[in-house]
Amino acid sequence: MGLDLFDLTGQVALVTGASKGLGRAMAVGLAKGGADLALCARDAPTLSVTRKETEKRGVRAEIFPMDVLSRDSVREAVSAVIAAFGKIDILVNNAGVNVRKTTLDLSEEEWDRVLDTNLKGYFLVAQAVAPHMIARNRGKVINISSIFGAVGMNNQLAYASSKGGIVQMTKVMAIEWAPHNVTVNAIGPTYFETPLVATLRNDPERFRFINERTPMGRWGQPEELEGTVVFLASKASDFITGQTIYVDGGWTIW
Ligand SMILES: NC(=O)c1ccc[n+]([C@@H]2O[C@H](COP(=O)([O-])OP(=O)(O)OC[C@H]3O[C@@H](n4cnc5c(N)ncnc54)[C@H](OP(=O)(O)O)[C@@H]3O)[C@@H](O)[C@H]2O)c1
């Protein structure tokens, strides 16, 4: 097996939530693999930081502001990506938010914001991008779920509901688009050190609990997602679809 199986040179990857955290780390990983990047999120200045980080790897990277809560914004950004690059080979649906509250404390507005961003947002972006993949009879969709797509946790009602939904969404899209050679898979990360989980990282008791709950005894580092995202974006995974790969130091195995 040659390493060219993982080579992404000449491929175009659209990454949502690319302005920080795991989105930035996966964009850098895809750039290391050789892919050109369409970087999407709401905040242009933080996207510029990701652009600089990816361009260092010798690829082309462009910024496309996108709010996944707005269908019009998603459609405009995807059209702009197609106009600029001519195609999209890889979609990483990653933009996400969380509100940690008990079921009894969570408001309707908070439920809607989490589900609209994490679940409806993935649907809107995939629905806008997939026709361009189907027309070319090739494509790789990678949806970022979570360990809480598989197991439960207190204070995670909206988040876990959205992440479980992503696992199921991935299977349905995979079945529908398989005849068009478009694979759809998900990644389920455990706790990784990003702004999304900064309050937990800074809480010594919670930090210790997460380490102790994890068979491998620690949190993930954002760059540890690079291998999985490159694998799912590359030829190496051409006959894999509808699956969720948990990158979790073993969290979901007990
Ligand atoms: N960190 C973890 O431990 C962990 C574990 C499992 C799964 N995940 C998942 O990984 C993904 C990224 O998480 P993260 O930790 O990297 O979070 P993060 O550091 O808070 O970054 C979230 C990203 O999503 C973007 N975003 C949020 N709302 C958006 C909207 N309405 N439209 C467009 N972009 C939006 C943000 O950019 P703007 O604010 O500029 O729009 C930002 O780029 C999420 O789906 C999360 O659920 C994270």
**252 within domain boundaries:** no
**What predicted TM-score, i.e. pTM, was given to this entire model?**
0.98
**136 within domain boundaries:** yes
Tokens of 67: 């709010």
**d(Cα 28, Cα 18) in Å, to the nearest integer?**
10
Is residue 246 annotated as part of the catalytic site, yes or no?
no
Q: What is the pLDDT tens value at each position of the chain, 254 positions in all?
A: 556 999 999 999 999 999 999 999 999 999 999 999 999 999 999 999 999 999 999 999 999 999 999 999 999 999 999 999 999 999 999 999 999 999 999 999 999 999 999 999 999 999 999 999 999 999 999 999 999 999 999 999 999 999 999 999 999 999 999 999 999 999 999 999 999 999 999 999 999 999 999 999 999 999 999 999 999 999 999 999 999 999 999 999 99
What's the confidence (pLDDT) of residue 1?
52
Tokens of 56: 């260092």
**d(Cα 117, Cα 120) in Å, to the nearest integer?**
6
**253 within domain boundaries:** no
**250 within domain boundaries:** no
**202 within domain boundaries:** yes
Closest ligand 1 atom to Cα of 144: 45
List, in order, residues 6 or more apart from 204 with CB less than 8 Å away: none
What is the domain count for the chain?
Answer: 1
Contact residues of ligand 1, CB 6 A cut-off: 16-17, 19-23, 41-43, 46, 66-69, 94-97, 117, 144, 146, 189, 191-192, 194-197
**106 within domain boundaries:** yes
**254 within domain boundaries:** no
Q: Pick the catalytic residue from 122, 159, 191, 246.
A: 159
Closest ligand 1 atom to Cα of 219: 3
Residue 12 · residue 88 · CB < 8 Å: yes
| Nearest CA among 254, 232, 227, 253 for reference residue 242 | 232
Kindly list the strands in the beta sheet with 12-16, ordered across the sheet, starting from the edge strand earlier in the chain. 61-65, 36-41, 12-16, 90-93, 139-144, 182-189, 244-247
**Structural domain harbouring 70:** 3-245
Q: Which residue has tokens 């207190």? A: 154
Residue among 50, 75, 194, 214 to mutate when testing ligand 1 (max atoms within 8 A of CB): 194
**67 within domain boundaries:** yes
List, in order, residues 6 or more apart from 162 with CB less than 8 Å away: 96, 114, 115, 117, 118, 119
Say how many Å lie between the CA of residue 220 and the centre of ligand 1. Answer: 16
CATH number of the domain where residue 93 is located: 3.40.50.720
Residue 68 · residue 92 · CB < 8 Å: no
Tokens of 54: 């990816």
